[in-house]
Amino acid sequence: MDWHVDEDIRVAEGLPASTFTDRAFLDRELETMFRTSWLVVPERGDDPRPLDEQVAARGSRVPITMLHRPLYLQRGWDDDKLRAFPNTCTHAWYPLVLGASRGPTLVCAQHGRRFDCEGKFISQQGFGSAPNFPRPCDSLQSLPVETWRRLAWINLDPAAAPLGEALREVDASLAKMPAMPERMSAEIRDVAGNWKQHSWNFLDQFHIGFVHRAPGGLADAIDLATYQTELHGNAVLQWVYARDAADGFDPAWLPERFHDPKGRRVFALWWFIFPNVALNFYPWGLSVNVYQPIADRPDATRFVWYQFALDREKHAERDRRWLSSQVDAEDVDALAQVSRGLRSGFAPRGRFAPEHEQASHWFHRAIAHAVR
């Protein structure tokens, strides 16, 4: 399969349809970009509290699953640091953390191997006469984990650069914005379409005037002619002025470059972090979308969705003024339609409109590069 995407948008062909349907390609994605990128940790189904609250107390730990890999989060006992480890015993691979628990040591339930809160092997009976024991690999490998604005992020690459580097431009754009204290909802559902379709759709400015058309659509609520796309390394920012200034950000919350001498106000900052996180900042708060691949199911996506309120009154009006549910429903429908086309056997490689699809082109190129 050839999936090269030319750097010149005017001549580039997009990823072939097979990259959205092929299981081997999905495996490849999971073993490349999903092993080296910062990923938002999905919530655990059995506790409604945000993850950072669940592991707030010294020595507390919870099992989590990241792209089918069993892991656990552990708060330090001697320090306040949050750590992440594989939830797999180094002796004979039994899961170490079966449910939320707390304490200075962790004891494996299969043969009693003990670890401290830093993942270090402490002891196991029966090994007194074993030479060269314990080895470094009898301790647990620590994985980079960080919390950012109440979201836990993990990187499966132990040598990953800090999350702050991946989010540098995002942080700069938010420097004057108040913190989002309150999480209003957390939702997980499986939806149709390969995960890349969802990321691509998020980056696709071109469809707004059609799928979200006026009257009554997003194209009415925004001043589409002022739409901006900024490519920043592994992140993309899309933003636009609101048709009605009352629906825009207070300019005091945004850096100078978003200010408009004519008084127009920014409707939203739509940030995308490669490969699958969308951070949508609105005057009402933050909506986070994560498009998680599902192993062996290239035709479906686990859609993880969080909302944080900045202004409760405006949050209650988000469907009427910012069209949250409507845009979401229109996208879900469009993606299901595209999924059928992808599998039709009649889907040629597409081209990109150089005037409207810089972000889509950037995404296809980033994927082609990442799986090499």
Q: Does the footprint of ligand FES cover residue 111 (CB under 6 A)?
A: yes
Rounded to a whole number of angstroms, the minimum distance from the CB of residue 62 to ligand FES is 19
Report helix, strand or coil for 116: strand
What kind and span of H or E run contains 325? helix 324-342
User: Which among 35-43, 62-70, 90-98, 151-159 is the span making contact with ligand FES, rule CB under 6 A?
Assistant: 90-98
Task: Give the C-alpha separation, 45 to 12, whole Å.
Answer: 42
CB 105 within 8 A of CB 124: no
The phi, psi pair for 275, rounded to 5°, reads -100, -10
**In angstroms, what is the minimal distance from the CB of 137 to ligand FES?**
14
105 binds ligand FES (CB under 6 A): no
Nearer to ligand FES, 25 or 121 (CB): 121
Cis peptide upstream of residue 134 (ω within 30 degrees of 0): yes
Which amino acid is residue 81, in one-letter code?
K
Under the binding rule (CB under 6 A), the answer on residue 97 touching ligand FES is: no
Say how far apart CA 267 and CA 270 lie, in whole Å. Answer: 10
For residue 168 the two structure tokens come to 């540098």
- Min dist CB 122 to ligand FES, Å, is 12
* C-beta of 105 vs 337, nearer to ligand FES: 105
Minimum distance from CB of 211 to Fe ion (Å)?
A: 6
From the list ligand FES, Fe ion, none, partner contacted by residue 331 (C-beta under 5 to 8 A by kind): Fe ion
CA atoms of 208 and 3, how far apart (whole Å): 27
Binding-site member from 58, 69, 91, 314 for ligand FES (CB under 6 A): 91
By beta-carbon proximity to ligand FES, the closer residue of 98 and 214 is 98
Q: How far is the CB of 95 from ligand FES (least distance, A)?
A: 9
Cβ proximity to Fe ion: between 29 and 331 the closer is: 331
370, two tokens: 């990442």
What's the alpha-carbon Rg for the chain, to the nearest Å? 23
Of the candidates 9, 17, 55, 108, which one interacts with ligand FES according to CB under 6 A? 108
Q: Evaluate the CA torsion angle 29, 30, 32, 37 in order and state its sign.
A: positive
Cβ-Cβ contacts under 8 Å for 314 (sequence gap 6 or more): 282, 283, 284, 285, 321
Q: According to CB under 5 A, which one of 116, 146, 247, 331 is a site residue for Fe ion? A: 331
Among 89, 143, 145, 222, binds ligand FES (CB under 6 A): 89
> Contact between 94 and ligand FES (CB under 6 A)?
yes
By the rule CB under 6 A, 4 interacts with ligand FES: no
**Residue 247 binding: pick among Fe ion, ligand FES, none (C-beta 5-8 Å cut-off by kind):** none
Residue 75: closest CA among 61, 91, 96: 61
Stretch that binds Fe ion, among 30-38, 130-138, 162-170, 323-331 (CB under 5 A): 323-331
**Lookup result for tokens 């580097």:** 165
**DSSP string of 41-69?**
PPPPTT--S-HHHHT-STTEEEEEEETTE
Q: Which residues bind Fe ion (CB under 5 A)?
A: 331
State the residues that interact with ligand FES by CB under 6 A. 89, 91-94, 108, 110-113
